[in-house]
Structure 1
């Protein structure tokens, strides 16, 4: 096998590249299973009338928030199929909350994902809020095409070798 001359000698420090610079899934078999949790959020901004119509339950496609919530849960469970090199994980908890925020106007979507495994669930939480936001858009696009999905981010994570992380700390 030939090596890629554009890959530097520092490749060994990159966890998802092998010695030849080729992408590979990290071997986590030797790592201990620990409780891991991640919380992510997304913001969806829309016109006040769109928010009012969704809140009243009058969207033409039906239950916008319920459908988006289920889509987020399903997405978390499918993350390893969507994100290259992501490990399939046994998820013990996936919770998606969608809260109206009249001051936006729009919604704050938050996903909490928990497992007991060798690797973390940050990607599962981020995937959950992303797909929930996309589904909310899809369910409401008949009301407004200019809905914006903003600020998808990790809020916190616990567990694993790297320890805890929170945007507040």
Structure 2
């Protein structure tokens, strides 16, 4: 009886685990380069929440202004919230929070000059901003939904540029 033997490739080395334990990737030897990332999130508003926002009758104040400030702060606190994320200098951030027909759109662009990217900072910015919209309007409706949190684009770094809709970084 003969057995076909196939070689089995060893499991790929995991970047954030070594010997089964989590670790922070060492970026000491990587050059600091200019990097930018843009992310978005949507806050879907039921009619009562939208009405309160449009009428300016929200008792807590303007949710869009608070969310913008929260998003900016969130971009700088990412390493405190994402366990294996490196603390990096956020050298620039822009958070836009706008009321659109589909709901509240949150858009954040974050920049750095660092040895690692700012995708997580941009994603954290939009998520924290969206959570603040919810918090500010939850008295009007608990059915508010935070949806479609995603990276839209990134530039810089080893993996190159990315735009939403492309399958792989360039």
TM-score (norm 1): 0.88
CA deviations over 1:111-150 (Å, ceiling 9, x no partner): 1100000000000000111111011000000111111111
Aligned counterpart, 1:16: 16
Structure 2 counterpart SS, 1:107: strand
Q: Residue 111 of structure 1: which of 84, 108, 130 is its match?
A: 108
CA deviations over 1:6-54 (Å, ceiling 9, x no partner): xx9525x211112x12110000011111001000000111124422421
Pair member with larger Rg: 2
TM-score (norm 2): 0.88
Query: Matches of 2:40 and 2:149 in 1, distance apart?
Result: 6
Cα displacement (A) at 1:56: 3.3
Runs of 5+ consecutive residues of structure 1 not aligned to the other structure: 1-7
Structure 1 runs of 4+ off > 4 angstroms?
none
Query: Matches of 1:55 and 1:37 in 2, distance apart?
Result: 33
Query: Matches of 2:115 and 2:131 in 1, distance apart?
Result: 29
Is 1:139 aligned to 2:136, yes or no?
yes
Aligned counterpart, 1:50: 49
Root-mean-square deviation (CA), in Å? 1.5
Aligned counterpart, 1:34: 33
Is 1:130 aligned to 2:131, yes or no?
no
Aligned counterpart, 2:91: 92
Contact kept? 2:64, 2:98, Cα under 8 Å: no
Q: Residue 167 of structure 1: which of 164, 167, 170 is its match?
A: 164
For this pair of structures, how many residues does the alignment match?
158
